[in-house]
Structure 1
Amino acid sequence: MQDVHSEFIHSFYSFGQSEQYSESTIKRTAEFVKTILNYAEKLGFATHVRNLEIPKNKNPKRVITLNEKELKKIIQTKVSADLQIAKDWLLISCYTGQRISDFMRFNSNQLININGKICISFIQQKTGKEIILPLHPTVLDILKKNNNNFPKPMDRSLYNKHIKEIADLSGIKEFVKTRKRIGFRSREMQIEKFRNISSHIGRRSFASNFYGKIPTPLLMQATGHSTEKVFLNYINPVNHEGIMALGNYFEEIYSGKQKK
């Protein structure tokens, strides 16, 4: 057991990377080894567990979201009747920030009126938390179109298939970098964005699109996150709108200097 030291961990990481295992798989396995050594030390065996340092993941987590411009494209795209239900649910998920296990169970009986604002009250299935969420105008428009009801619930696999088709029809075809998991290994590749869309994109889009515009505690209250650290995992670190705004400022300042 004394052979398991910092050099062993370094060699183990090098081996895992050469075999194209994902960073998370390598780290998780190293943590298992550390747990076993901790237990062995409690039994009286000599180990180097106190000197073991598990490297932090170097690969930043990529969060795929739909920004406001893309959501507007989806809203304006006309789809066939068999895709309309999925389109409505996709928009509902992007403007409520809930998991599919929750938003697919939304119904009109959960609607309440608080000082003139239409809200939905429900218990999150995963956390058991009671959420009272004011509904975004886009969601209210969908309800109005459906005679003040939510769309019919859909099977998750069919929903995931349909929202990819909807994003494709909406022209959301830019290439994005992603890591595809193949068994315990992962490979970085570029694929068209619509191919990488799944049911969780609504929750991520809600968090990313409103982050910085609405106080974080209010957003966490809406999503049901207990800590800001976990909530921030849902934020897309690449803020294209912010990048464009900064670029516009650069051009404006440069143009002003040139005129002097």
Structure 2
Amino acid sequence: MKKKRCVKDSLLKNILIKEENRIYNILLSMENGDEPFTLENVKNRIKGTVEEKINPDFYYHFDGYFKIKFGLGELSDGTKYHYELFKKQLKEYKPKLFLNEINTKFIDDFVYYLKTEKNVGNSGIGTRLKCFSAVLNKFVVDELISYNPCKNVTRPKENKRDTFLNQADLKKIVTADLKMGNLTKGLEITRKLFLFSCYTGLRYSDVMNLKKENIVDNQKIKITMLKTKEEVTVYLNDYSLKILKTANLASKKDKDFVFERRENVSVNRDLKLIGMRAKIKKHLTFHVARHTFGSILAINKTPINLIKEFMGHKDIRVTQIYMNSDEETSKKVMNTVIF
């Protein structure tokens, strides 16, 4: 029987994490400021009897914010990944960044860098700006800065998530020739991950987090989704089982990952090449695989409540987004209607 968490224990843990982080920041600030580490100085700084100087380093405060948010369990592994990627790319653009350098122009320039140098699409840029704005909002609350310049930056319109593949498209991807020299292995891994998502509806984060222990009797997958923390059961079909056979599960331990590692950025870059090789004009991203799963189930007249269950949606209105069709399907429907 699972032990019930005590509310007081949770509150105490949160208070201790915050206090630990505050003391850590004080000590780090003293070290960076070459302040003598005497017992009296440390006691005075912790008690607040000495005015604390604000460290101007953005990344120093970002790490403190991130440590608290993740320590309190407010960030899922998927969200954690987005914050880490945001920091990584921001540091690549500006290795040393001070708080007083962050203004609307700086953010606009960073967005331009993401578009031109990193080939980040509108959805990715929107995610980076969302992370940036959340951090700066906290800095305003903590009185590190006076305002959040992200509020003056218009987020690009995200690509509509209504693209999905039909059976003919999937066959093209399965049979596409991906022999491209040293790119071949990465493309093959990405194709395998993408098709597995098409056949199971799992997000990229859940496919990459899938472990042998999540495969039950070679018949179904039971996994807690990283994004929603909801447990879902997905039944395996001939297509997904065929891919699992290539994963050599017999040689793996229960805690081992099923698939080879491949970064999300690399996967979406690979998918552009795979789309070209398969002669598919649709814009491929990993989310298209999940949309394909839901849409093909809908086309095959799967009850919407089952699609909702398989995809782990909390609200059926989210599932209805996947209940669309392409031009070919629409034509077939109209040709079979008797008026």
Structure-2 residue corresponding to 1:228: 316
Matched, 1:205 2:289: no
Q: Does 1:215 find its partner at 2:319?
A: no
Q: CA deviation at 1:109?
A: 2.0
Structure 1 residues 77 and 238: alpha-carbon distance in aligned structure 2, compared to 1, 3 A threshold: closer
- Which runs of 5 or more structure 2 residues have no equivalent in the other structure? 1-159, 179-183, 253-257
8 Å contact from structure 1 (residues 62, 236) kept in 2: no
Query: Which has the higher mean CA deviation after the structures are superposed, 213-222 or 229-238?
Result: 229-238
**Letter paired with 1:68:** Q
CA contact (8 A) 1:124 1:130 kept: yes
Task: Give the letter for the 2:223 counterpart.
Answer: F
Partner of 2:220, secondary structure, is strand
TM-score by length of 1: 0.59
Given the alignment of the two structures, is residue 129 of structure 1 paired with residue 237 of structure 2, yes or no? no
Computing the radius of gyration over CA atoms, which structure comes out larger, 1 or 2? 2
1:147 aligns with 2:257: no
Is 1:238 paired with 2:339?
Answer: no
SS at match of 2:317: helix
Q: How many residues align?
A: 167
Flag the structure with more relative contact order, 1 or 2, with Cα contacts below 8 A and sequence separation at least 6: 1
Q: Secondary structure at 2:174's aligned position in 1?
A: helix
Number of the residue aligned with 1:96: 200
SS at 1:122 equivalent: strand
| Corresponding residue number in structure 2 for 1:41 | none
Q: Give 1:17's aligned residue.
A: none
**RMSD, aligned CA:** 2.2
Aligned to 1:74: 173
Any conservation in 2 of the 1:122–1:132 contact (CA below 8 Å)?
Answer: yes
Report what 1:31 is aligned to. Answer: none
Going from structure 1 to structure 2, the CA distance change for 1:125 and 1:82 (only over 3 Å counts) comes to closer
TM-score (norm 2): 0.46
- Summarize the alignment of residues 40-189 of structure 1 with structure 2, pairs less than 5 Å apart: 63-79=162-178, 80-113=184-217, 118-148=219-249, 150-173=258-281
Aligned mates of 1:118, 1:239 — CA distance in 2: 34
Q: Deviation of residue 66 (structure 1)?
A: 1.1
Amino acid across the alignment from 1:100: Y
Deviation per CA, 1:132-188: give whole Å up to 9, x if none: 111121111011123237331210000001111111101102xxxxxxxxxxxxxxx
User: What displacement does 1:127 show?
Assistant: 1.2
Q: Whole-Å Cα distance in 2 between the matches of residues 239 and 203 of structure 1?
A: 19
Greater strand proportion: 1
Kindly provide the amino acid, as one letter, of the partner of residue 167 in structure 1: G
- Compared with structure 1, are the counterparts of its residues 62 and 140 closer, same or farther at alpha carbon in structure 2 (3 Å cutoff)? closer
Contact preservation (8 Å) 1:204, 1:235: no
Contact 1:111 1:120 in 2 (8 A): yes
| Change over 3 Å in CA distance of 1:121–1:161 after alignment to 2 | same
**Is the partner of 1:132 in helix, strand or coil?**
strand
Unaligned runs of 5+ in 1: 1-60, 174-192, 254-260
Partner Cα separation in structure 1 for residue 201 and residue 274 of structure 2 = 19
